[in-house]
Chain A
Amino acid sequence: MSAIVLLMGLLLLSYVGSLIIGGRTARGLPSGVEFIALGFAVGPHALGLVERPMIAEFAPIVQVALGWLAFVVGLDFGRAGGRRVRAKPMALGVFCALLTGGTVALVVNRFLAYVPVPGINETNGLLLAAGAGAVTAETTRFVVQWVAVRWNVKGPVSTLLVEIAAADDLAPLVLAGAVFAFMPSSTVALEMHAGGWFLLSLSLGGLLGTVTALLLRGAEGYAVWGALIGTLLLGVGTSTRFGLCTIFVTFVMGIALAGVSPHRRALRRMVSPTERAVLYPMLLLAGAHLNLGPLLENRMLVAVLALVLMGRIAGKLLSGFVLRAAVPAARPAGPLLGIVLLSSGPVSVSCGFVFALRFPGKVGDTLLVCAAASAVLGELVSTFALKNLLTQLGEATPAAMPTPLPLAPGPTAEDMFATTRTRGSEPPGPRSEKEPVT
């Protein structure tokens, strides 16, 4: 397959993705794992339609796509369904993600301390453990939206889960930023402590976000897109050049822009429809990049993968207990609340992908496999567990079959917030005129 054919394929996926916008429809799976599977199938380790050098050729495009996704997450960070996430769920979301990531990192680190894996030295072991923590920390916000769309969900627990899932993106991205700060590029001529590199990442993102806001004053037409794309490219290019975490820099850039620009509302409406258009090609390339070779060659890495998944389950179960303890409304959910938090998606895969690109070889490949496996696990366990839980709690309409889509769009996270306050009212109908046109 030539590069141009692959590009056309990616554009086709992007076209399909742009028709399925912002989680408003429930086509496909919430984690997008089917695109990863498709990518793996056509990739060099299965059918071989897409070869390794070709994937390497697309690395800059992947970096930009990952950066854009993190930028979109940053621009909308702290908001769910167009509303600000309350302080308590925000803190809980970040804490639960840190708890899960910390659990996974600790488990992997202890395992590697006792069972040495050939080819992974102490530094790489620390990198693998910390990377695994970053890759497995989040719960994807798409899963709650997906269930909400299909089964007319509304209620306090689903609202809480939406907010938790929206808030917990911070942890994996900051963790990834911190891990990269310990290992700047070997080409840099500047000696600096890891804290310095982390601060540099933070400053670069903040500065670019502020410059974008300055550029957008009175910007007209295409100049708005030009400013957004330009700063993104500069941010991704510069951070890659330094060996810093691109998705952390662009995430901070998104937050800074949302904080500084008076046009943040219009920007969110402009940018959010692009998320799926970028996401699907990225997931496909992530799948094509998946390399099971190191795991097959070294069985101990399979054990690491298993530990990562178990660590994630343990971390999320603990998170469930924390949620039940902190939020009285979540108590009826029972002790297995954490299971519904197991779903992971684009942010995890993005984290795995940046690690795979920055640290090619055993560590990077294993982390990308961990991200993909975590998404599959979530898909198998979490999605329908969530549906069952919300049905038991009376927040999902049990009789409602999956809504025929996209003819009758179901409720969005925004609708869920509205109906939480007016329970017993009519189920939400089609979107109002004021909502963003997708």
Chain B
Amino acid sequence: MSAGPKHGKTWLGRGVDLLSLMILFGIMWGATFVAPGYKGEAAVLAALGFLLLAGTLLSELVEVLGMPHLSGYLFAGIIAGPYVLHLIEKDAVKHLEPVNTLAIALIALAGGAELRLETLKRGLRSLVFALGLHTILGIVGMGLVFFVLRPAFIANLPLTGIIGVSLLWGVVSITRSPSACLGVLSQTRATGPLARFSLAFVMASDVVVVVMLATAITLARPLLEPGTTLSFSAFRSLGHEILGSISLGTTLGLVLAAYLKVSGRQLLVVLIALGFGATEVLHYLNYEPLLTFMVAGFVVQNLSKQGDKFIHAIEETGGVVYVVFFASAGAHLNVPLLKDYWATALILVGARAAITVGTARLSAVLAKDEPSIKKYGWGPLISQAGVAIGIASVIAAKFPSFGAGFRDLAIACVALNEMVGPVLFKVAIDRAKEAKGPTPSLSDAEDAPAPSI
């Protein structure tokens, strides 16, 4: 799907894409017009198909503007979703959640498999500096901005309470989007120092965020609920969760590596079974699916020779899943909420971007990074998506007194970061000259052996 000299589209080709997109919108509109108020499962199927097609087509069209494909997927979801054209209703969007489960598993597997031990060792210094500085400066900096800004929903809290909420906001601010990072890297097929750094940082930062969330909740509770004593019980369950996820992920990775070596057939079916079945088991055990799958992918890549085969299989399966994942994320975006909170959200997003860029520069200088990381190391760190919303929802559930407003503001900020972040990362990858050519097209497959499913 990437643009390249061979498969680059002419204006006529773009025109045909636009025509196809209009036909699809026409079919979807016709379905809504002829059978209004339909709530059955067929609406979910049609929504799924429509998001897949419209997302793909719009991604081709936004490419003209130099935007990444995943922006096209997001826009397709936003436009057709329940807040703009109402072609896809809220119920249908909610029913698409199993796709997210599969997508998260595939994203984590791919992310883990892309992390090579050698590369990690080489970039360890850079990674440690970046993780440490972004975590500390991110939490402190954004906490301060939030403290100064004091949105309306915390106006009634005492000073200690505001400090506690600011600390929690700081944690939400240091979340990144592995899916957006992998989406852009997958489209651009980027290789180079910036791509390697981005992947390692974004994947590792997920683990850091989980630890920081537990820490922040532990510290914030006595500040928000006077009379509550400092309790470290959260760390016990966190320890179980992390250790359990790592050990299960290692086992899963070894099993996958053995399967790839012995048979390696029908990986599509295996990955789907893994995405749904293993996630269900992990939820039952209270383990972290993202970490487990990431470790599994890492083990396949680094403890076996099956890494490339595995990555290829995930790319084949994940491509379709990612489109729906991002398009349904777009449909999920609460546009009216953004309208309500736009001013506060804009300040917070701007401040976060400024802190991120500044911290990225500082850590790159201290770690003596390569020029591309010094210049564009902030690129992958702007995007936010599901992890941030997930964390905001956890906080909202734990602190109902301000939770709803906190979550809404977080969603508004994530909406902005989700739209702007991938564009900035694509620009960074392009400027760092790390993007590569397109994948083979169907025409190339005409005389080739039948592709596997």
A residues sitting closer than 8 Å to B (CB atoms) are: 4, 7-8, 11-12, 14-15, 18-19, 59-60, 63-64, 185, 187-190, 204, 207-208, 211, 214-227, 229-238, 240-242, 263, 265-267, 269-270, 273-274, 277, 436-438
Are A277 and B453 within 8 A (Cβ)? yes
- The one of A190, A222, A233, A263 in contact with B446, judged by C-beta atoms closer than 8 angstroms, is A263
Contact assessment for B20 and A215 in the assembled complex, using a CB-CB cutoff below 8 Å: yes
Q: Which residues of B contact A14 (CB under 8 A)?
A: 269
Instruction: Give the one of B24, B28, B53 with max A CB within 10 A.
Output: B53
Q: Which of B204-253 contact A (CB under 8 A)?
A: none
Contact of B325 with A by CB under 8 A: no
Q: Which of B13, B438, B446 contacts A265 (CB 8 A)?
A: B446
Q: Are B277 and A218 in contact (CB under 8 A)?
A: no
Asked if B9 is at the interface (CB within 8 A of a chain A CB), the reply is yes
Chain B residues numbered 46-73 whose CB sits less than 8 Å from any CB in chain A: 46-50, 52-53, 56-57
Give the CA-CA distance A232 to B48 in the complex, in Å: 10
Shortest CB-to-CB span from A251 to chain B, Å, is: 17
Q: Does B152 contact A (CB under 8 A)?
A: no
Shortest distance in angstroms between B58's beta carbon and chain A's nearest beta carbon?
A: 12
Taken together as a complex, chains A and B put the C-alpha atoms of A189 and B36 apart, in Å, by 7
Report whether B41 and A221 are in contact in the complex, using a CB–CB cutoff of 8 Å.
Answer: no
What chain A residues lie within 8 Å of B43 (beta carbons)?
Answer: 237, 241
B7 within 8 A of A: yes
Given A8-B276, A222-B319, A238-B42, 13 further pairs, Cβ under 8 A? A63-B45, A208-B27, A211-B23, A214-B16, A217-B16, A220-B438, A220-B440, A222-B316, A223-B1, A226-B53, A226-B320, A234-B27, A265-B446
Would B449 and A220 count as touching, CB distance under 8 A?
no
Chain A residues, Cβ within 8 Å of B144: none
Measured in the bound complex, the distance between the Cα atoms of B448 and A269 in whole Å is: 10
Min CB–CB distance A203 → chain B (angstroms): 10
B156 touches A (CB below 8 Å): no
Chain B residues touching A, majority SS: helix
CB distance from A338 to the nearest CB of B (A): 36
Interfacial chain A residues near B52, Cβ < 8 Å: 226, 229-230, 233
Partner of A219, one of B42, B44, B50, B442: B442
Q: Mark B432-453, 1 if CB is under 8 A from A, else 0.
A: 0000001111110110011101
Chain A residues closer than 8 Å to B285, beta-carbon distance: none
Contact, CB under 8 Å: A188 / B45: no
Which residues of B are found within 8 Å of A273, using beta-carbon distances?
A: 450, 453
Cβ–Cβ < 8 Å partners of A236 in chain B: 42, 45-46, 49
Interface membership of B400, Cβ < 8 A: no
- Contacts known (A60-B42, A233-B49, A235-B49); A187 close to B20, Cβ less than 8 A: no
Q: Does B323 interact with chain A (Cβ within 8 Å)?
A: yes
Give bound CA distance, A438 to B265, whole Å.
Answer: 11
Contact: B13 with A218, CB < 8 Å?
yes
User: A215-B56, A436-B449 are contacts. A237–B48 as well, Cβ < 8 Å?
Assistant: yes
**One of B280, B443, B450 near A263 (C-beta < 8 A):** B443
Q: Can you list 11 A-B contacts (CB < 8 A)?
A: A11-B277, A204-B27, A211-B23, A218-B443, A219-B442, A230-B49, A238-B27, A266-B442, A266-B446, A270-B453, A277-B266
Closest A residue, CB atoms, query B448:
A266
Contact with A227, one of B31, B56, B277 (Cβ below 8 angstroms)? B56
Could you tell me the distance between the alpha carbons of A242 and B42 in the complex, rounded to whole angstroms? 9
Inter-subunit contact B47/A185 (CB<8 Å)? no
**CA A212 to CA B78, docked complex, whole Å:** 23
Across-interface contacts of A437 in B (CB, < 8 A): 449-450
B5 on the A face (CB < 8 A): no
Residues of B within 8 A of A241 (CB): 31, 34-35, 38, 40, 42-43, 46
Cα distance, A63 to B265, chains bound together (Å): 26
* Residue contact B34 to A215, C-beta cutoff 8 Å: no
Q: A19-B266, A266-B445, A270-B450 are in contact. Are A189 and B34 (CB under 8 A)?
A: yes
What are the residues of chain A within 8 A of B269 when measuring CB–CB?
11, 14-15, 18, 277
CB distance from A184 to the nearest CB of B (A): 9
Whether B41 pairs with A11 at a CB distance below 8 angstroms is no
Q: How large is the interface on B (under 10, 10 to 19, 20 to 34, 35 or more residues)?
A: 35 or more
Query: Known contacts being A187-B37, A242-B35, A270-B451, is A60 close to B45, with CB within 8 Å?
Result: yes
Task: For residue B30, give the distance in angstroms from its CB to the closest CB of chain A.
Answer: 8
Of the candidates A12, A219, A226, A269, the one having the most CB atoms from chain B within 10 angstroms of its own CB is: A226
Q: A211-B20, A222-B316, A273-B453 are in contact. Are A240 and B440 (CB under 8 A)?
A: no
Closest to B57 in A: A215
Nearest-neighbour CB distance to chain A for B438, whole angstroms, equals 6
Cβ–Cβ < 8 Å partners of A185 in chain B: 35, 38
Query: Which A residue sits closest to B438, measured CB to CB?
Result: A220
- In the complex, the chain A residue whose C-beta lies closest to that of B46 is A237
- Which B residues from 255 to 288 make CB contacts under 8 A with A? 265-266, 269-270, 272-273, 276-277, 280
* B27 x A207 contact (CB < 8 A): yes
Query: Known: A4-B280, A237-B43. Contact between A231 and B53, CB under 8 A?
Result: yes
Given contacts A234-B49, A242-B31, contact A224 B442 (CB under 8 A): yes
Q: Which of B2, B42, B442 contacts A240 (CB 8 A)?
A: B42
Q: How far is the CA of A237 from the CA of B40 in the complex (A)?
A: 10
Complex CA gap A436/B2 in Å reads 28
Bound: A238/B33 CA distance, A:
11
Complex: how many Å from CA A219 to CA B269? 23
B318 to chain A, nearest CB (A): 8
Alpha-carbon distance between A235 and B441 when the two chains are bound, in angstroms:
25
Residue of A nearest to B449 (CB): A437
- Also in contact, A234 and B56, with CB within 8 A (given A187-B35, A221-B319, A222-B316): no
Please determine whether A234 and B50 come into contact, CB atoms closer than 8 angstroms.
Answer: yes
* A229 partner residues in chain B, CB cutoff 8 A: 49, 52, 320
Contact of B272 with A11 in the complex, beta carbons under 8 Å? yes
Instruction: Let me know if A263 and B442 touch, CB within 8 A.
Output: yes
Q: A8 and B446 in contact (CB under 8 A), knowing A63-B42, A234-B50? A: no
The answer on a CB contact under 8 Å between B49 and A232 is yes
Structural contact, B316 and A221, CB atoms closer than 8 A: yes
Asked whether, in the complex, the Cβ of A188 is within 8 Å of the Cβ of B34, the reply is: yes
The interface bits of chain B over 1-25 (1 if a CB of A lies within 8 angstroms of the residue's CB, else 0) are 1100001010001001001100110
- Closest CB of chain A to B436's CB: distance in Å? 13
| Docked CA distance A203–B48 (Å) | 21
Residue numbers in A under 8 Å from B46 (CB-CB): 233-234, 236-238, 241
